[in-house]
A and B are shown apart, each in its own frame.
Chain A
Amino acid sequence: MTETVATTDEQPASPSATEETYDVPADAETYDCSYCGRPFAREDWLALHRGLAHPNDLDDAEVEAFRAAHEDEEESLATFRLQALGALVLIYFGLLMIYALV
Chain B
Amino acid sequence: MTFGRRHRAALAVCGLGLLAATGTASAHGGSLAGGGRESLTIPTWLFLSTGGAAVGASFLLASFVTDRAFIERIHGWGRPLSGEFERVLGLVGQLIGVVGLAAVLVIGFVGPTTARTNLAILLVWVGWWAGLAMTTYLLGNAWATLNPLKTLADLLPTLDRSYPDRVGSWPAVAGLLVLVWLEVVSPLADQPRLLASAVAGYSVVTLAGALVFGPDDWFTQADPVERVFRYYGRFAPIGRGEDGLRLRLPGMDLSTPRLVDGPDEVAFVVALLWVTTYDGLVTTPAWRDLTTPLVEPGVPPHLLYPVALAIGFGFFLGVYRLAVRLSSDISDTYLTPAVLAQRFAPPLIAIAVGYHFAHYLGYFLVLAPSLAVALASPFADPATVPTLELPEWFGAIALTSVIVGHLVAIWVAHAAAYDLFPARLQAIRSQYPFIAVMVFYTMTSLWVVSQPEVALPHL
Contact = CB atoms under 8 A, between A and B. Distances in A.
Contacts, number: 137
A45 B336 contact: no
Contacts of B215: 4
Interface of B is mostly: helix
B64 A99 contact: no
B24 interface: yes
Given A6-B226, A7-B145, A16-B263, A44 B240 contact: no
B87 A7 contact: no
B333 interface: yes
A14 B217 CA distance: 11
Interface in B209-251: 215-216, 219-221, 226, 230, 233-234, 239-242
Given A15-B168, A22-B335, 11 more contacts: A8-B241, A10-B242, A12-B220, A23-B334, A23-B335, A45-B421, A46-B422, A73-B423, A73-B425, A77-B424, A92-B57
Contacts of B63: 80-81, 84
Interface string B371-410: 0000000000000000000000000000000000000000
Given A9-B240, A14-B261, A88-B61, A2 B154 contact: yes
Given A6-B219, A12-B220, A102 B42 contact: yes
B28 interface: no
Given A21-B336, A40-B422, A16 B261 contact: yes
B137 to A, nearest CB: 13
Contacts of B79: none
A50 B13 CA distance: 51
Contact of A77 (B42, B66, B258, B261): B66
Given A1-B90, A80-B63, A91-B56, A20 B336 contact: yes
A49 B422 contact: yes
16 contacts: A1-B94, A6-B150, A11-B259, A12-B220, A14-B262, A16-B338, A17-B261, A17-B262, A19-B338, A24-B334, A28-B334, A48-B423, A84-B60, A91-B60, A92-B57, A102-B43
Contacts of B160: none
Most buried by A among B49, B220, B221: B220
A12 B221 CA distance: 10
A10 B230 CA distance: 10
A45 B331 CA distance: 11
